[in-house]
Amino acid sequence: MILAVIESFVINFTLLLVCVVNIRNGAVGGVHFYEQPVKDRVVELGLITENEIKRNKIVSGLVFMLILLIIAPLMVFCVNGAETFLDGFIQLTIMYLLCGLFDRVFIDWYWVGHTKTWLIPGTEDLMPYIHKKTWAAKIIGTVIGYPLFAALLSWIFTLILK
């Protein structure tokens, strides 16, 4: 279990890197994480194209999904030695919930909501960028979705590694 907690920091760091790479030239590069009205405004202002938003979303999604779908289960089953569905499920759930907590609290609430790092000039009237309803939906998705995701991957990996 301790390894799962430590490994969740690896996943959190990866998520942080994905965000940092996206906004390396300004918050516009990470606009694919924002609500649709912000995306529309940024395109309207000519700061980015819809194709660039789609490309950034795909690349970011692929990198992070690779970590969640393959790297995390491999760490649990091959490094940590989980052999049963329950062992894998518990460890993956810990990793995913800690990652979700990091994403919801540090990235969404603090970094995006309380710093100027993610501020896009010309969209100030659309703030907050993550509305309470969206944030609550993300919390519910994290609490319900990540354990379901962990269960599915644990089941798949226990079948593969038998």
pLDDT digits (tens, 9 = 90+) for 119-162: 999 999 999 999 999 999 999 999 999 999 999 999 999 999 87
Q: Is the peptide bond before 128 cis (omega within 30 degrees of 0)?
A: yes
Q: Are 57 and 32 in contact (CB under 8 A)?
A: yes
pLDDT at residue number 145: 95
For residues 64-80, average pLDDT: 93
Q: Are 68 and 11 in contact (CB under 8 A)?
A: yes
- pTM, to two decimals: 0.90
Name the phi and psi angles at 120, rounded to 5.
-110, 115
pLDDT at residue number 162: 72
